[in-house]
Amino acid sequence: MAGCWVRLALITVCLLPCPAQAGGKYSREKNEVDADGKAEIEFRMAKLNQVWEKAQRLQFSPVKLAELHSDLKIQEKDELNWKKLKADGLDEDGEKEAMMRRNFNVILTKYRLDGRKDAAAMDTNYLKDSMDSENDVFDDPKLEKLWNKATTSGKFNNDEVRKLRREFQHHQDKIQEYHILRETVSRNEDIYQNVISPSEAHVKEDLLHSKHTQLKDKHRNVEASFQRLRKLINQGYDKDSEFSEPRVLELWDMAKQSNFTADELDSIKEELKHFETKIEKHQHYKEQLDLSHQKLKHVETIGDKEHLSRNKEKYAMLTEKTKELGYKVKKHMQDLLARLSKGGLNHNEL
């Protein structure tokens, strides 16, 4: 079993050349904090720092870097939690470890950091910021056809069209994540088939089942999302709807279709209102970060040191705030999906 994970790790984490010297930048001593107790690196895990530094060298946009940072923070939290589980002997079949490796591969592919594409040819705007998506064409033919139907139906005013655009973009992101996961599963299929010994056949069967279950769940989620869009195009927006953010609407639909009591639905609704406010705040900071970046580049060309210093301070503040809110939004979404899919919320957390 150990041999399986060694080979998986070699395949997964071949992002950058390894340091030639022990005790280098990614040694265990440097993996936490320096001798003075001051953090020198962004993440506690060396492989995540490799990804982060590669993205910086490729000069990702500030908003895209903030999105990547949020994903890596969640990955780090999950992996550190898994290490505790493993130490307590709670992942004997390796299922949780396998899922984390898949999730890491998804991040690498999502941001084109898996080493399979020429970095120089990479589209630095690969992850579309919602504020710049008005003129995008949807990649999925069914989605593009549905969008054309929506925009020519006359059912939606300008505000509703912008709102609908966010819903379509959200669905396209789901399609992208599904295809990335499917590709990741396919690439690693032979590893599970060939590395694990016949004596561990039951472990191999469990791991393969876990992978395909995750893939089926993702596909079912994509299909449900598309059906929601079709219904929305036919019926229009509910004028009395409590929410406007696509992710919150999706969660609210999930809650209403479950067997919650009226009181439970009221509690869910209140939490979703708070979640929507958090999303809107995050979106605001992303937009401000983008504007700050443009202004900073402009001030740099002028050469005014006083203005440059002030703009750098504001840019740094917006960067950190966008990272922080991005993590909170994604983690909250992750928690809500997990809790709603189990059919109940822990009301002590509301």
Q: What is the pLDDT of residue 27?
A: 39
Q: Tell me the C-alpha distance between 81 and 85, whole Å.
A: 6
The CATH architecture assigned to 140-237 reads Up-down Bundle (1.20)
Average the pLDDT over 246-260 and give the result.
Answer: 86
Residue 212 pLDDT > 80: no
Which two structure tokens, joined as six digits, stand for 120?
């120089």
Q: Tell me the C-alpha distance between 129 and 340, whole Å.
A: 28
Q: Is 151 helix (H, G, I), strand (E, B) or coil?
A: helix
CB count within 10 Å of CB 306 equals: 8
**For 259-341, which CATH superfamily applies?**
RAP domain (1.20.81.10)
Residue-wise pLDDT for 124-154, tens only, equals: 343 344 334 444 567 788 888 888 888 888 8
Of residues 254 and 204, more confidently modeled: 254
User: What angle separates helix 141-152 from helix 158-195, to the nearest 10 degrees?
Assistant: 170
Of residues 264 and 343, more confidently modeled: 264
Residue-wise pLDDT for 38-87, tens only, equals: 445 899 999 999 999 999 999 999 999 999 999 999 999 999 998 888 88
- Residue 261 is inside which H or E element, if any? none
Residue-wise pLDDT for 261-298, tens only, equals: 999 999 999 999 999 999 999 999 999 999 999 999 88
- Residues 5, 94: contact at Cβ < 8 Å? yes
Average the pLDDT over 190-212 and give the result.
Answer: 58
Residue 301 pLDDT > 70: yes
Question: At 300, is the pLDDT very low, low, confident or very high (cuts 50, 70, 90)?
Answer: confident
Percentage of the chain beyond pLDDT 90 is 27
Q: Tell me the C-alpha distance between 44 and 83, whole Å.
A: 13
Q: What is the pLDDT of residue 199?
A: 53
- Residues 43, 79: contact at Cβ < 8 Å? no
Residue 92 pLDDT > 50: yes
- Residue 19 is inside which H or E element, if any? none
Q: What is the pLDDT of residue 217?
A: 80
Question: At 200, is the pLDDT very low, low, confident or very high (cuts 50, 70, 90)?
Answer: low
Give the highest mean pLDDT range of 37-46, 63-72, 189-198, 235-244.
Answer: 63-72
Residue type, 262: A
Q: Is 139 helix (H, G, I), strand (E, B) or coil?
A: coil
Q: 222: Cβ–Cβ under 8 A, 6 or more apart, which residues?
A: 171, 174, 175, 178
Residue 252 pLDDT > 80: yes
- What is the overall mean pLDDT for the chain? 76
Fold of 39-124: Receptor-associated Protein (1.20.81)
Q: What is the pLDDT of residue 54?
A: 93
Residues in the chain: 350
- Residues 130, 112: contact at Cβ < 8 Å? no
Q: Tell me the C-alpha distance between 345 and 260, whole Å.
A: 9
Residue type, 22: A
Q: Tell me the C-alpha distance between 131 and 142, whole Å.
A: 23
- Residues 246, 166: contact at Cβ < 8 Å? yes
Average the pLDDT over 11-33 and give the result.
Answer: 41
Domain with CATH 1.20.81.10 in the chain: 39-124, 259-341
Q: Tell me the C-alpha distance between 52 and 60, whole Å.
A: 10
Q: 288: Cβ–Cβ under 8 A, 6 or more apart, which residues?
A: 318
- Residue 29 is inside which H or E element, if any? none
Of residues 56 and 243, more confidently modeled: 56
